[in-house]
Amino acid sequence: MLHFRLWDAQDVAVFLSIMLYMCHLAGTISIHSPQRSLIRSVQDNVFFSVNFTCSGIPDIQWTFMSGLVSRMIGSWQPGVYTNITEDYSSRVQAYDNGSMGLLDLRLQDGGFYVFTITDSTGSSKDFSFVLKVNEVLYEDLQYLSVSFLVLACLAGLFMLIMWLLNKTYKKIKASKCIREMPEIDETEL
Ligand SMILES: *[C@@H]1O[C@H](CO)[C@@H](O)[C@H](O)[C@H]1NC(C)=O
Ligand SMILES: *[C@@H]1O[C@H](CO)[C@@H](O)[C@H](O)[C@H]1NC(C)=O
């Protein structure tokens, strides 16, 4: 009897812990993203892609951080409201799955982007992205065109020298032939 009761108690404990674990899972917010580190150039657009699961309609918030600067970008509740701060209103696109698009990047946009989600029970979770903004396009193009110009000049100079050498060689050969011709004639005569 005592043996059986002991097992019952253990079964109940296991059952309870499984139930607790499932409740815990149901209340847990999970966030996924295909890419958390992004590199773009000035004037490009960037898309911070996220997807989440949580209970109820969540409150989504995006914050920008760089060094000591922390700036609110915007917050929204899918299908309820969208509130983007004035600085970003023309450049930010808000999506229902929490994703955010940022258009026409500037050098100062480089930094951390923190995605915060708060569910209906009040628990919240953060998820951060790193964005690097490069200003390389113009410098690279300039560098490329200058080196191309230098190479073209060198090639032109090389061809000119070859042509001149060829011409003088032919001239020398021609004058040599003219000088040699009478000598041959003399010996034959
Ligand atoms: C979120 O939604 C956008 C727009 O519908 C989509 O392009 C993006 O892939 C979604 N993100 C994820 C992680 O599913
Ligand atoms: C929108 O966000 C700003 C800045 O965070 C806040 O002051 C304002 O009350 C918000 N408006 C609404 C309608 O939530």
- Please report the pLDDT score of residue 183 as a whole number: 57
Asked if the structure places residue 184 within a domain, the reply is no
Q: Where in the chain does DSSP place strands (E)?
A: 30-32, 37-41, 46-48, 51-53, 59-66, 69-77, 81-84, 92-94, 100-102, 111-118, 124-134
Q: Residue 164 is part of which domain span?
A: 138-179
pTM recorded for the entire structure: 0.63
Please tell me the total count of domains within the chain: 2
Q: Is residue 186 part of a domain?
A: no
Q: Which two tokens stand for residue 38?
A: 């992004």
Give per-residue pLDDT as tens, 39-87: 999 999 999 999 999 888 899 999 999 988 999 999 999 999 999 999 9
Are 72 and 119 in a shared domain?
yes
Q: Cα(83) to centroid of ligand 2, in Å? A: 6
Say how many Å lie between the CA of residue 44 and the centre of ligand 2.
Answer: 28
Has residue 84 been placed in a domain? Answer: yes
Tokens of 117: 């989600």
129 and 58 both lie in a single domain: yes
| Ligand 2 neighbours (beta carbon < 6 A) | 72, 83, 85
